Structure 1
Amino acid sequence: MARRPTIKDIARRAGVSESAVSFALNDRPGVSRDTRARIRGVAEELGWQPNSAARALSGERAGAVGLVLARPAHTLGAESFFLRLVSGIQEALSAAGTALLFQVVEDIDAECAVHRRWWAERRVDGVLVVDPRTDDPRPALLAELGLPAVTVGEPAPAPGAAHAGTPSPALSAIRADDAGAMAQVLDHLHGLGHRRIVHVAGLPALAHTARRIDSLRAEAARRGLGPDRVRSVVTDYSDAQGAAATRRVLAEPRPPTALVYDNDVMAVAGRAVAAELGIPVPAGLSIVAWDDSALCRVTHPPLTALVRDTAGFGRLAAEELLAVVAGRPPGVRESELPRLEPRESTAPPPAHTDS
């Protein structure tokens, strides 16, 4: 295995002391301009790179931020949301010369253990926190560690907070307007004449799932529709559970005329179930996907979906974290409101359906 070049190698090749090399490579006074240029030229020629672990031990930044996903692994492979989110994060970090340390774990306890290890090893300068929970141990842990962090998505209320948009003192947040998005969906379906709607939601422990369920209930009540007509059922975001939930609700004596799915994968799975049961879309059932993707656009018929810049969401989160690491106080930043794009999967309910 090739040996990595060291400061001693650079000093020997340049004919200077190791301290002179250290001064030159760290932009410190103590060497002339010509000597500094010669040392840097030799370092480049040898392919020398700074040792990030040594820099961290000396109090310098690690030059990396962390992202841990505590999700069932089988749900990540099918869902495009995280791929687009990470692409946006990586775009912002690459422009700043910062690396992304990424890990997938089984649960939130394992994620907390990773954060503690990264902090102890000084592996990262800060972390991005995804999937805020309704009862989330991570904000308190990160505050205790003093590790800069940004929550990707509006956090659940901190203890004693007046509303859900109040971040932990140690965390910034990128807020997604789930209530505004749900209002668009209900406006569309209610305007078409739908009065029996089921929301096939994601993991119930996630803060954004709880917000979407609450928003659906509030928007339905505002239109005079009770829980007997508009309600949510929860899943793990997978196509299997999305399909199973679809079968259950469509087998009810008074099935829904419209289904709203929390991601594209479940919406496509639900469309397949409707076809299997002989229910035409949209003539017999309307379908809306919360997140737009290529899946929604190539399915027949193309699915009505909420369109948002997921990569831009990731870029905004990464930029906020870099700013917090640089010393800016934490705060809440608003992401762009998703836009509902009606396509061929939504239409008025069948004429014989009761109101």
Structure 2
Amino acid sequence: MPRVNITDIARKAGVSKTAVSFAFNNPSRLSEATVQQILAIAEEMGYSPDPVARSMSTGRTGTIGLLLPQPLPEIVRNPYFPEFLEGIGEVCTHSGLSLMLVPPLKGSMRRAIVNAAVDGFLTLGLEESKATMVVLRQRGVPFVTVDSDPIEGVPAINVDDAGGACQAMQHVLALGHRQIAILAIRSGKQGHYREYVGTLGARMHGYLQALEEYGLTINGRSVRLLECASTEEGGMESFQTLWKSRHHPTAIIAMSDIIAIGVIKAAASAGQQVPRDLSVVGFDDITLASLIHPALTTVAQPSREKGEMATRELVKLIESNSQPIHQVLPTRLVERSSVCPPPKNED
């Protein structure tokens, strides 16, 4: 049986094909009675719009893409992501848009960008220097960067990562800690922290600023740096690595809450009590941070608001080609129960 099309509906309704298209895509152009008549006939005939044909006629897909720097399984294991996604979803719902998650396709960001049928992209944690940015510009659809170094002419939504990280490090230093380990999110830089960019670069800058105030720096002895996956397992493995060394840190500062939570769990398994034996600080203030025992001292960032703001900016670009903004949202230290002065026998 041949597929019903808009010509068939127009013939039966006694209207033009343009009127049928308006009924589905722009009903405000018709009277309410005409819209209802066309929709009723379409339902009676078993017609449903072809989304590909619709996008070809309107020039829009009604979908925005969230471009992810990591495979989906790794991204969704971080509880920060759903909170960020909630903010995006609020704006999509209000604007009548769908959201497509766009992770690397067969390991290629370029392939993912080229194949995503979207009206614009939100990018999460991408580096300007990467070929990804070149492909985004070539694709010709608007995009907004999140958690990346600002790019001239492109809207950017960030948080004060450097300020929050500085507060976290100042907090443990003020309590007397001098044996400190920083757990950085895996970067591909093999621990060459001077090469960090974006969120990692900003947070590392904040840590180093606070250390400098106390005459300290990362030296591989009293202040050490390890990279790990931003997962609970990453935090657990890092703790085990540190505890195999001769000198144990008295404080661990993690670049994400989920890493810090992994540290707390591994410490408990090893018979180390947080914070008596080891102080732990995170970053993000995910919901779980206040529920774990002991409750995690962390840096709060407005993850949901960040998602909302970035999506609103993208919608503006899609609809009206508005002027790009660079917005930095505040962070703050949240003191809970996972930090105290170092043990008396600190090395």
Q: TM-score range by the shorter chain?
A: 0.7 to 0.9
Contact 1:238 1:265 in 2 (8 A): yes
Aligned to 2:85: 86
1:226 alignment counterpart: 217
What is the Cα deviation at residue 127 of structure 1?
0.6
Residue 168 of structure 1 deviates from its aligned partner by: 4.3
**Structure 1 vs Structure 2 CA RMSD:** 2.7
1:210 aligns with 2:201: yes
How much has 1:341 moved relative to structure 2? 1.0
Query: Which runs of 5 or more residues in structure 1 are unaligned?
Result: 156-164
Q: Residues 116-137 of structure 1: CA distance to partner in whole angstroms, max 9, x if unpaired?
A: 123xxxx211111112237422
Q: Which residue of the partner structure matches residue 21 of structure 1?
A: 20
Q: How far apart, CA to CA, are the structure 2 residues paired with 1:283 and 1:186?
A: 18
> Could you say which residue in structure 2 is the equivalent of 1:158?
none
Aligned to 1:321: 314
Q: Provide the secondary structure at the position in 1 that maps to 2:89.
A: helix
Matched, 1:244 2:237: yes
**Matched position secondary structure for 1:138:** helix
Between stretches 233-242 and 71-80, larger displacement belongs to 71-80
CA contact (8 A) 2:235 2:259 kept: yes
Contact 2:27 2:35 in 1 (8 A): no
**Are the structure 2 counterparts of residues 23 and 73 from structure 1 closer, same or farther at C-alpha, using a change threshold of 3 Å?**
closer
Deviation readout 1:307-342 (Å, 9 max, x if unpaired): 22211111111111111222113231222x222111
- Equivalent residue, structure 2, for 1:160: none
In structure 2, runs of 5+ residues without a counterpart are 189-196
Partner of residue 137, structure 2: 143
TM alignment of 1:119-158, pairs within 5 A: 123-133=117-127, 135-155=129-149
Aligned counterparts of 2:105 and 2:217: Cα–Cα separation in 1: 37
1:105 is paired with a residue of what secondary structure? coil
Q: Deviations over 1:96-146 (max 9, x none)?
A: 111112233367x5222121123xxxx211111112237422222212222
CA drift at 1:261: 1.5
- Residue 41 (structure 1) aligned with residue 41 (structure 2): no
Structure 2 residue identity aligned to 1:286? S
What secondary structure, in the 3-state scheme, does the structure 2 residue paired with 1:92 have? helix
- Alpha-carbon shift at residue 243 of structure 1 (Å): 1.4
Say whether the 8 Å CA contact 2:23–2:38 is kept in structure 1: no
8 Å Cα contact 2:164/2:206 also seen in 1: no
Find runs of 4+ consecutive structure 1 residues off by over 6 angstroms. Answer: none
Aligned-residue sequence identity (percent) comes to 29
2:114 is the alignment partner of 1:116: yes
SS of the residue 2:68 aligns to: strand
Structure 2 counterpart of 1:287, from 260, 280, 284: 280
Higher deviation after alignment, 89-98 or 206-215:
206-215
Kindly indicate whether residue 265 of structure 2 is the aligned counterpart of residue 272 of structure 1.
yes
Q: Aligned AA for 1:7?
A: I
CA distance in 2, matches of 1:252, 1:4: 70
Matching of residue 198 in structure 1 with residue 181 in structure 2: yes
| Aligned equivalent of 1:349 | 342
What TM-score do the two structures reach when normalised by structure 1?
0.84
Structure 2 counterpart of 1:64: 63
**TM-superposed deviation, 1:5:** 6.1
The residue number in structure 1 matching 2:52 is 53
Q: 1:4 to 1:272 in 2, by over 3 A?
A: farther
- What amino acid maps onto 1:227 in structure 2? I
Partner of 2:241, secondary structure, is: helix
1:171-222 alpha-carbon deviations (Å, 9 max, x no partner): 3211221101111101211221112221111121463223322332232112
Instruction: Specify the alignment match of 2:193 in structure 1.
Output: none
Q: 1:143 to 1:168 in 2, by over 3 A?
A: farther
**Distance change (3 Å), C-alpha of 1:243 and 1:38:** same
Deviation, 1:149, is 0.5
SS at match of 2:298: strand
Query: Secondary structure of the equivalent of 1:57?
Result: helix
1:168 and 1:353, CA in 2 relative to 1: closer, same or farther beyond 3 A?
Answer: same
Q: 2:166 aligns with which of 163, 183, 187?
A: 183
Aligned length: 332
Could you say which residue in structure 1 is the equivalent of 2:192?
Answer: none
